[in-house]
Amino acid sequence: MDVTRLKGPLGVWLQRLFLVLVAVLSSAADTVLAFSQDRRLTQFHHTRWTIKEGAPGQISAIAQTEDGYLWISAAAALYRFDGVRFERFEPPSGDPFSAIQTLYAPPGGGLWIGFQMGGIAFLKGGRLTRYRGTEGAPARQVSAFATDRNGDVWTSELAGGLFRLSGGRWEQVGESWGYAGKESRYLFVDQDGTLWVAAEKTLLYLPHGARRFIPTGTNVGWVLQLRQAPDGRIWMTESGGDVRPIPVPGHGQTENPPSLHVDSAGVQFARDGSMWLTTLGDGLRRIPHPERLPAGDVASVAGAVESFTEKDGLSGDYAWPVLEDREGNLWVGTSGGLDRFRVSSMVLAEFPRGSHDFALVAGNAGELWAGTTNRPLMRLSHGEVSFEQPGAPVRSAYRDQEGVIWLGADNGLWRVEDGRLSHVTPMPVPLSQVQAMTRDHRGTLWVSLTGHPQMQWVDGRWNPVTERLGFSDKERIHTAMTDARGRVWLGHKRGIITRVDGDEVRRFTEEDGLRLGVITALTAGRQYVWVGGQFGLALHDGQRFRPLVADGDEPFRNVSGIIERSDGSLWVHAVPGVFHIPAEEVQRALGDPSHRVRYELFDFLDGLPARPTLLRPLPTAVAGDDGRLWFATSNGVVWIDPQRITRNPMPPPVSILAVRADGRRYAPASDVTLPIHPANLEIDYTALSLSIPERVRIRYRLEGVDEHWQDVGTRRTAYYGNLAPGRYRFQVIASNNDGVWNERGASLELVVPPAVHQTWWFRTLCVAAGFLLLWLLYLLRLRQLTAKMRGRLEERHAERERIARELHDTLLQSVQGLVLRLQAVAEQLPAHEPARQAMEKALDRADQVLAEGRDRVMELRSSIHADRDLSDALVQVGEELAEDIPASFRLIVEGVPRELDAAVQVEIFLIGREALLNAFQHAGGTAVEAELHYDSDELRVRIRDDGAGVAPEILEMGGRPGHWGLAGMHERAARIGATLQVWSQTNAGTEVELKVPAAIIYRRKPNAPLWRRLKGAARMGRGR
C-alpha cells in the first residue's frame, strides 16, 4: 500500500506515522551497518569449504537465485549449495556443459549461464533452455548479463558486441542504438537504471528510458567488473591491476581519484558500505570505508586496506568471484574452495594471538583491562591494545564500587586508579596466587589465595580471617562478591557459601537449597544474589536458594560468569556458551519456581572461540560501562552489544528436492504417484538460510500419517515406511537461525495406488467368497444331517417290516391256529348250550383281535409303498372313516405330483392319517377336507374341518393329558425335518398344516443341476 496517496486527516496521520517509522528503522539500520563496517576483517565469522567438505575447486562464478540457492561454477560443472550440501547439477538432456564463464540470477527467478566456448543457457524450475546462436542469441563467449528496469535482459559478447532479449526475442544492438562497438567486455545497471557498457577501451551508458547510448569518451583498460558504491560512485576493476572509480562526470570523477594497484578479479560493495576485492594470487582485500580513501595511491595509506590470505584461513589465495547474498553474507570463490564471511553477534577482541587465561575487568569509557599468564597487562581502548608492565602474570582482576581496579599478580597486589597503574603490596605468602577479590563497604579488601587461608588487606597490612570465619586450614574460596548492602559473599570449592555481614557470619548449605557443586560465580543483582556453579544456576531470594531450570537442550551447567543488566535480563557464561535469559523469563521464574526458562544461546556459531575457564581466573564475564558485555575463553576474549545484536529477518525458502520410494527416484512434481505398497519412502528437502544453516529448524508432517508436526532439527530427509493406499500431503516448514519461520513452506501431494488385493472390489469379492464358503459349508452340513436322518428313517422302516413279519409269522399265525382249534371244540357242543354260545362270543372277539393285530402289522409294514401315491392313501383313509362317521370328505391336489422318498412318505401318511382320525372322531363337524400342494421348494399337507375346534389350553400344552395323538404328530414332523402347525378356534374348526422341505421329500434326479440341489438343500434348512 502506498501511504503517500492517502487523503484526508487519517491519510495525513498515517503518512506522518509512516515517515517516523521509516526514519527510526533507517536510523537503526544505519547504526547496525556502521557497527558492521567498523569491524576488522579478522572479526568476521569465517567459514570455508574445501574439497574435503565436498566443495568444488577453481570456482569461476557465483550467483544466488531467488529461491535462495547459491549456484557455483567450477570449470565445466555447475553446483548448487544450500549451506549444507553441494549438489552437482546435471543437464536434463544429458548434454554436458562446456566450461562456464559467468552466472547471473535475474529478478523474477532463474539462472543465466554463459559459456567460455560460446553460447548461453537459461535454467529455471529444473528446465534448461540453450541458445547456440539461434534465435539471434550470442554464439561466442559471454562475459556478463544485466537486467534493466523494463525487464529486458542484456548480455555482452566479448568478440561480438551487445545483445538484448526483449519479449522473448534476441536482437543484436547496433547503430540504431548508437552502439558501434565490436566488443562488449562488461555491462552493469546502476541504481538509477542506467546501463553501463565497457566496450573495447571506452565506456558507454544508456539512461533509463533512452534508445541511444551515450559515449563517455573516457579511455579505460580491459574492464573486468563494474560495481556501484553506496555513495553513488561506480568503481571498475581493470586487467593489469587498477581498481578505481570510473572517470565520468557526475559518476565519481574527481581531480585525483583514489586508485588501488592490485590485480583484482572481482569487487563487491557490501550493504554496510565496505568494499571487498578478490585478487589473483594474494587472497582477499577489504576496505571498510572506501568513501574515506584519499586521492592517489591507496597503498601508501597505512590501515586503509585489510588483507585475508591463505595463511589466515582462506581456502586459496587465487580468488575470483565475490558475492553478497540476500542475508548479508559475503561469499568468495577461490582455487581451493568456497569461503563465507558473516557478521557474528560476538566480536573477537584484538588481543595478541596466543594469549590465554584472561583475568578481565572493565575500565572507564568502554575500555577493558586483561591480565594473562603469558602476556603483560593489556589495556584495550577504542580497538587499540596497549601494554602495562606489572612485572608478573596477573591472575585475578576486580573493580570495586568506587571504580578502583585491583589486580592480583604473582608479585603482589596492584591497583589502577585514574588510568595509572601502581603497586600496592607484595603477597602475604611467598609463591601464592590470588584466586578471588572483593571489597566490603568498610574498604576492607578480601583476598582469597590458592592453597592458603582467607586474607584481608586493611589499613596497609594483611590480616588472616580463617579463625574468625570458622574456616579450616583446608577451606578454599573459589569466588567472592560484595552485594549492594556491603555484605561479603564467599563461594567455596566444596559447594557452600559463607556470607559475612559485619560481625555476623552465616553459612549456606544444601539445607538452604544450595545444590550447585563448586561455586564458580557470584553476582549481586538489583534484588537478588545470583549464584552459578558446577551443576547449575540459582538465586537467593532472601531466605533460601532457588534453582533456575533451562527449557532447552542445553542446561545451565559449569557457570563461570553472570551479568544482570539494567533491564532485568541475565547473561550467563557457561561451558555450552553464553545464555541470554530475557527479563520476562526471569520474572516468570521469580513468580513460579517450577517455570522452565527459555533462553537464547550464543556459541561458536556466533563467534565464541572456545570454552570458559572454570578454575582461574574468575569471573569470565564482565560488563563495560558502554553497554558491551565481555566474555573470556581459553582461546580469546569476545564482546557483544545487546543493543546491536545482528538479526536475520528473512524466513528461509523451503524446497522439496526429491522423492525416493524403494530405491527409485521421483521428481517432486505437483503429484507423485508412488509404487504399490512402498516399504521405504524418503523425501529430501532443504531450507535455504545461508547465514547459520546449522541452526535452521525444520518441521514436517505427512497428512494421513502424522497427527502433529515432526520437529527434526536440521535433518533434511523424511522417512516413512509401509504406507497404506491413499492420497497423502507432505508439508515442510522451516525457521532461520533467529527463529523466523516460513509458515507456508513447501508441500507435495503423494498418491499410493492400491494393489489388487487392496482394492475395494477385491475386498468385496473376498467378503462375498467368504460368505459363499460359509453358505456352502452350511449346506454341506445340512446335506449330511439330511442323509443321516433319511438313513435313520430307512432303518426304522426296515425294522418295522422285520417286526411285522415276525408278528405275522409267529403271533398271528399261532393265535389263528388257537382260534381254529377253539372253533372246532365249540362246534362239538350243542347249539343251545350256554357254553357254546359263550365260546362263540369269545371266538368273535378273537376274530376282532386278529383283525386289529393284522391291521397293526400292516401299519408296521407300511400301508403304502413307493409305487402308491400319497393322495390315494389319504383318500382311502378319509373314505373309510366317512363310511362310519356322518361327515363328508374330499382331497384337493395342487401342483404336479412328484416322486417321494418312501421312508419320509410313510411318516407323512401317518401324520395325515392321525389328523384325519382326529377330525372325524373328535371334531363333530360335517365336512373334512385335505390338501396336497406340490411346490418346488416344499410339500404342504393340510387337514381341516368345520367342527368344534380345540381348546387353546390344549393347543398350548400340545395335547390332552393321557392322549398322544397331537404330540406324536409333532414328534414325527421333527424327526423328518418338517414343520407342523395347528390353528383352531372355538366353533370355527381346526386346521393342521405340515411343511416338508423339498430336499427331504422329493427324490433328486441324477442329472439335476447343482443350483437346484443347493436351492433345495437351503430350503430344507429353512424348513428345519
Residue 10 has pLDDT above 70, yes or no: no
Report percent pLDDT > 70 for the chain: 90
Alpha carbon distance 649, 327 (integer Å): 8
Element (H, E) at 849: helix 834-860
Alpha carbon distance 853, 861 (integer Å): 12
Element (H, E) at 36: helix 8-37
Alpha carbon distance 367, 388 (integer Å): 14
Task: Please say whether the beta carbons of 456 and 446 come within 8 A.
Answer: yes
Alpha carbon distance 47, 66 (integer Å): 23
Over residues 305-346, the pLDDT tens digits come to 899 999 999 999 999 999 999 999 999 999 999 999 999 999
Residue 45 has pLDDT above 90, yes or no: yes
At how many degrees (to 10) do helices 760-806 and 965-975 cross? 130
Residue 466 has pLDDT above 90, yes or no: no
Which position has the higher pLDDT, 298 or 592? 592
pLDDT band per the 50, 70, 90 thresholds, residue 64: very high
* β strands within 736-783, DSSP E: 741-752
Handedness of CA 787, 788, 789, 790 (dihedral sign): positive
Cell, residue 1023: 424348513
Alpha carbon distance 368, 381 (integer Å): 7
Length of the chain: 1024
Average pLDDT, stretch 125-148?
87
Over residues 489-541, the pLDDT tens digits come to 999 988 999 999 988 999 999 999 999 999 999 999 989 999 999 999 999 99
pLDDT of 573: 97
Residue 1017 has pLDDT above 50, yes or no: no
Q: Which residues face 153 on adjacent strands?
A: 147, 165
Element (H, E) at 235: strand 234-238
- What is the Cα 685 distance to its own chain's centre? 12
Which position has the higher pLDDT, 820 or 734? 734
Task: Please say whether the beta carbons of 144 and 155 come within 8 A.
Answer: yes
pLDDT of 311: 94
Residue identified by cell 400319497 is: 870
pLDDT of 969: 86
Task: Please say whether the beta carbons of 396 and 436 come within 8 A.
Answer: yes
pLDDT of 182: 81
Q: Which residues have C-beta within 8 Å of that of residue 343, sequence separation ≥ 6?
A: 36, 39, 44, 45, 328, 646
Name the strands in the sheet holding 275-279, side by side, starting at the edge strand that comes first in the sequence. 264-269, 275-279, 284-287, 306-308
Residue 989 has pLDDT above 50, yes or no: yes
Report percent pLDDT > 90 for the chain: 54
Element (H, E) at 114: strand 111-115
pLDDT band per the 50, 70, 90 thresholds, residue 300: low
Cell, residue 484: 549492594
Average pLDDT, stretch 222-249?
87
364: how many CB neighbours lie within 10 A of its CB?
15
Residue 670 has pLDDT above 70, yes or no: yes
pLDDT band per the 50, 70, 90 thresholds, residue 805: low
Cell, residue 117: 566456448
Which amino acid makes up residue 447?
V
**Strand pairing class (927-934; 888-894):** parallel
What is the residue-wise DSSP string for 937-974?
SEEEEEEEE-SS---HHHHHHTS-TT--HHHHHHHHHH
Task: Output the CA–CA distances (angstroms, integers) from residue 341 to 466, 639, 690, 737, in the order listed.
Answer: 54, 18, 11, 16
Task: Please say whether the beta carbons of 393 and 373 come within 8 A.
Answer: yes
